[in-house]
A and B are shown apart, each in its own frame.
Chain A
Amino acid sequence: MPDHDLPGRSRPVGFGNRFLLYLELVRMEFVNNLAYRSSYFTGIFNYTIQIGAYFFLWDAIYSGRRAIGGLNKEEMITYVIVAWVARSFYFSNLDRRVAVEIRDGKIALELIRPYSYQMVKYARASGEAFFRILFFAVPAGTVIYFIRPFGLPPDWQAGLLFLLAVIGGFVINSQISMIAGFCAFFTQSTSGIFRAKRVVMDLFSGLLLPISFYPGWARDIIKLFPFQTVSYMPNLIYLGKITGGAVLKVILLQLFWVAFLGLVSVLFWRFAVKHVVIQGG
């Protein structure tokens, strides 16, 4: 009898196999999302209206002024459009999904698997993100471009670095969502936490307002948090306001936050799992 036929002797998983598993999860989530693609078409419509509203708002604010917070009117409109289109890519419901699994006790089924719960969740979020970029962000950007042409990156390098920074923003946004979701271990009512998280993210990431519009003391506080690396900094790279070595600084800052948030969520997870109470059954 070959060794692996004995019970409990399944072969250990190497790094390569683990990677294949996560890749498979990315693929599965992508395919899964195809079933819901029609809901994304309504999403494109919603985003177009949202962006339209901001367009008129900023149009009114800029009347008679040349530049506010270092951006002229045309740059501001591009900023808003790029920020929202990028958001259609990096946004995810990770926090809610994690919280629901914890609240319903489905987390028990994740704890009996020989994988990292967080990595599985990130892999699936990536699958969804790939889907979003193809079926949401790119179509939404194209539609909006035809309605109201906006500025393009100054050169292809800036465009590429912007994409890289947005991917960094996606990772950081997912990590923040994961940590928010873990709060469900300790409280039944997570909706308040999620609402607070959303407001903080929208304001401090630079989605609603470029960070340069804030007063100096507020900017100093925002600097202490990872939020502005999700939207504000990538957008400035797109606009060509951050160039050269400063781009490298942004990427390094993102890497720092990825490492920091990764550490926080691992510690939080370890602590929470020890105190986990499985609901039901």
Chain B
Amino acid sequence: MALIEARGLTKEFRIFRRREGVMGAFRDLFQRDYTTLRAVDGIDFVVAEGEMVGYIGANGAGKSTTIKMLTGILVPTAGSVNVNGFIPYKEREKYTRGIGVVFGQRSQLWWDIAVIESFKLLRRIYNVSQEEFKARLKKFDDILEFGSFLHLPVRKLSLGQRMRCDLTAALLHNPAILFLDEPTIGLDVLGKAKIREFLKEINSESKTTVILTTHDLGDIEALCPRVAIIDKGKMLYDGSVDNLYAQWGHDKMEDIVKKIYEGCKPEQYCMIENWGDTHA
């Protein structure tokens, strides 16, 4: 049975377009000009238990919006979504017990208090027993090595240290699914390597399903046998990384992805020269 099953998933945003100038602002008071933006446009996305899927796309392609619908933060405009046996936005309190989420751009830890205090509070929130809590903390510490700054407030941590703590925070309750929205953003090479190693370990040992968005294709190459590519809200490719290479020849992954973002489809073979012409 699929752990994540989304069919025809769509999210539209209404955007209020402000008119220019003083007269425009005055007119806005009485009549607002809305345009509809389709951030995610009827995508199908099915993930089995234990998979590790990379979800990539250019800025504004709809990655984060998809993740927010899968995690129950946003309500889809159309389509169906079922994750871990729940409709995320409907049964939020039950559903979120089984997932972990990391937003690379925001910390979920309390800013002013020691990291360990945040962990303890999360232990309470998810009702994790004391033994499990200690065991997991120790296991995670073996790879992520956060022991030395566990007693510092989050605001004093470096980005790399913070991210390691955020990952721990998302996994303390041993969720079935881990959603990562750009977990390696802004990290140095060593920091990235550590996080990749950790994710691999979690995926193989606890069978945690991982969905990961990233702009760093190194993350995909290191972690994900399967990749989904989205652009302008539409799913352009969803399949194995191996197949991607097979279809496009043995280019570097970065080049393949560039071409896909440029609008080339795997079926219509795009010449590398063509691509070079328009972007020389």
Contact = CB atoms under 8 A, between A and B. Distances in A.
Instruction: Tell me what chain A mostly uses at the interface: helix, strand, loop, or mixed.
Output: loop
Nearest to B117: A28
A114 B93 contact: yes
A116 interface: yes
B176 A4 contact: no
Interface string B86-114: 00010011101111010101101010110
Contact of A108 (B73, B126, B132, B177): B73
B247 interface: no
B66 interface: no
A4 B84 CA distance: 16
A12 B128 CA distance: 10
B98 A10 contact: yes
A32 B206 contact: no
A104 to B, nearest CB: 9
Contact of B97 (A10, A21, A105, A280): A10
B93 A109 contact: no
A109 B108 contact: yes
Contact of B176 (A7, A113, A273): A7
B72 A111 contact: yes
B84 A281 contact: no
B106 A109 contact: yes
Given A5-B174, A278-B68, A113 B96 contact: yes
A11 interface: yes
Contacts of B124: 17, 20-21, 24
19 contacts: A7-B175, A7-B176, A7-B207, A9-B174, A9-B176, A10-B173, A10-B174, A17-B127, A21-B121, A21-B125, A25-B121, A28-B117, A108-B68, A109-B106, A112-B73, A112-B96, A112-B108, A275-B75, A278-B68
